[in-house]
Structure 1
Amino acid sequence: MTLSNPERRAASAANVFQSRVPGVGDFSLRPLAVPDDMPLLHRWVTQDYARYWGMQQATLAEVSDAYHALQQGVHTDCYLGLYHGEAAFLLECYQPAHDALAAHYPVAAGDIGMHFLVAPAETRIPGFTRAVMRVILDFLFRDSATHRVVVEPDVRNAKIHAINRHAGFVYQHEIDLPHKRAHLAFCTREQHQAARQSAGQRKEPA
């Protein structure tokens, strides 16, 4: 993946997690920086491929305000994912008990919700998004208090459903959230490990 100068400038803060995915490369995570990362993020979220992110028409100021509010909260954490030192994806982690999602399933201790968005790539790498998902789940499950990862992707987003299932997510039922019709899906530590083992046996990337 070859990214532009803003992505390279965005890679300068301290990392909180590092991982190597065989056949793909080196990844790391660092806290999202507001306002420094916002021009980069604004460029990502306003492109057509990111339409399910719901910010295509947002201004730079609106994106900055939104992530400033998230960073100021105590129930959400945002990270910038790096690939070989260059900005490559956004990760949002949140507590389902303090989210609209809590109205749709019995939240259990150890649940954590997440959203992620991969950067627009200039050079496509086979298996890259699967590798990003693997890094994210490894990062979340490194905390022994995390028992299950919860996602609620838009029902129309066929690509992410395939990525989720490959990573070990088990789909439940459809739910109506304030801004979308979504699929509810869970992935436990054991399901993620089983999916990784299965992918390795098939010799698939990531």
Structure 2
Amino acid sequence: MTAIDLPSAIATPPIFDLWLQIDALFAETGEDRIELSLEWLMRGDIALHDLRCGISNDCTIIVDRIDFYQSAGLWTNRPPAVPPASGLVPGPDGRDHPRRPAKPVGQFYERYDREARCVVSFDVLTIGSHLSLFHRWQNDPRVAHFWEEDKSKEDLAAYLAERIANPGVLPAIASFDGDPAGYLEFYWAREDRLGAYYDSHPWDRGWHGLIGERRHLGRMKTAAWLRSLTHYLFVDCPLTEKIVGEPRADNVKLLRYTDPLAYRKIREFDFPHKRAALMHCYRDEFFAKVRF
């Protein structure tokens, strides 16, 4: 366990800067637990609940790596989603689900990936700003082979409008160092078509994604993209214990990344339009296995 001493020559940083330093220490030391001086928090007028993670122990605060990467406010522009208090909403095929929290706006996730040495960020897609990009990506034969959405701008605008209007789907643009690189759809699995193919739980999340810009292809950036999107889904809602996916079973390149990121292939099954691999990623396994 690594202890952080309070330098006497500098002022105590605000909470955001303290999170940055904790993040750097976990990366540099490889430790699973670090120790903070309680005096550091007091001088910066930082309360333990503001830290969001940590256990008071006499004159020190103990921070576990697994808790920190689920709790610190470094990566998103809002606190974890608080589900509305109302009851279940009717869903498809009797799969009732909770009323979903409001969607974010603008850029809603940003994280520096040390392995890829770049910043991964996610922005809410808007048709006015992103339709041309989306159209070009979908009409790339490499993408069309898996997505089968190589259509006109008008058709793709309708496709996106339906997803934007759907409270259970969040369309997003993924970027590396601010350069738009690909498309993501985050969804609540209970009301998605996938929910009928396994024992879906009310807070399961899933995603579809593509990297559209060829200059951003490659093992390092793809792994950073997958780490970040999985991290976002767990950080966004504390009730989400499982992330699911259904890539094409023959998408060998994507499936190579799954084990290091704690995704398990449960089985293969047939959608009407493809043979799919059912993937599960559990919160505890992800944060225990993946290093940031």
Q: TM-score range by the shorter chain?
A: 0.7 to 0.9
Q: Which residue of 2 aligns with 1:179?
A: 273
Distance apart, 1:17 and its partner CA: 1.0
Give, as a single letter, the amino acid of the residue that structure 2 aligns with 1:101: L
Q: Which residue of 1 aligns with 2:53?
A: none
Distance apart, 1:125 and its partner CA: 5.1
Which consecutive unaligned segments of at least 5 residues does structure 1 have?
A: 1-12, 201-206
Which consecutive unaligned segments of at least 5 residues does structure 2 have?
A: 1-104
Distance apart, 1:109 and its partner CA: 2.8
Distance apart, 1:119 and its partner CA: 2.2
Contact 2:115–2:224 (8 Å) recurs in 1: no
CA gap of 1:123–1:168, structure 2 versus 1, over 3 A, is closer
Q: Which residue of 1 aligns with 2:36?
A: none
Distance apart, 1:191 and its partner CA: 2.0
Distance apart, 1:26 and its partner CA: 0.8
Contact 2:211–2:217 (8 Å) recurs in 1: no
- Report the aligned-residue RMSD: 1.7
- What SS does the aligned partner of 1:35 have? helix
1:112 to 187, 202, 205: 205
Which structure has the larger Rg over C-alpha atoms?
A: 2
The higher relative CO (CA closer than 8 Å, separation ≥ 6) is in 1
Rounded Cα–Cα distance in structure 2 between residues aligned with 1:83 and 1:147: 27
Q: What do residues 26-81 of structure 1 show as CA deviations (whole Å, max 9, x unaligned)?
A: 1111101113201101111111221201213x111111110111101111111111
- What SS does the aligned partner of 1:93 have? strand
Q: Which residue of 2 aligns with 1:15?
A: 107
Q: List structure 1 segments (4+ residues) > 4 angstroms apart after TM superposition.
A: 123-126
Give, as a single letter, the amino acid of the residue that structure 1 aligns with 2:289: A
Question: Is residue 85 of structure 1 aligned with residue 178 of structure 2?
Answer: yes
Rounded Cα–Cα distance in structure 2 between residues aligned with 1:124 and 1:180: 24
Distance apart, 1:167 and its partner CA: 1.4
Contact 1:35–1:64 (8 Å) recurs in 2: no
Aligned-residue identity in percent: 23
Q: What do residues 113-172 of structure 1 show as CA deviations (whole Å, max 9, x unaligned)?
A: 111111222365541101100010111110212211100011111111112233111111
CA gap of 1:166–1:122, structure 2 versus 1, over 3 A, is same
Rounded Cα–Cα distance in structure 1 between residues aligned with 2:266 and 2:207: 16
Q: Which residue of 2 aligns with 1:9?
A: none
Q: Which residue of 1 aligns with 2:260?
A: 166
Rounded Cα–Cα distance in structure 2 between residues aligned with 1:140 and 1:100: 19
Q: Which residue of 1 aligns with 2:288?
A: 194
Question: Is residue 62 of structure 1 aligned with residue 194 of structure 2?
Answer: no
Contact 1:34–1:64 (8 Å) recurs in 2: yes
Rounded Cα–Cα distance in structure 1 between residues aligned with 2:106 and 2:172: 11
1:152 to 246, 251, 256: 246
Q: What do residues 54-113 of structure 1 show as CA deviations (whole Å, max 9, x unaligned)?
A: 213x11111111011110111111111111111012110112211221221111132011
Contact 2:121–2:174 (8 Å) recurs in 1: yes
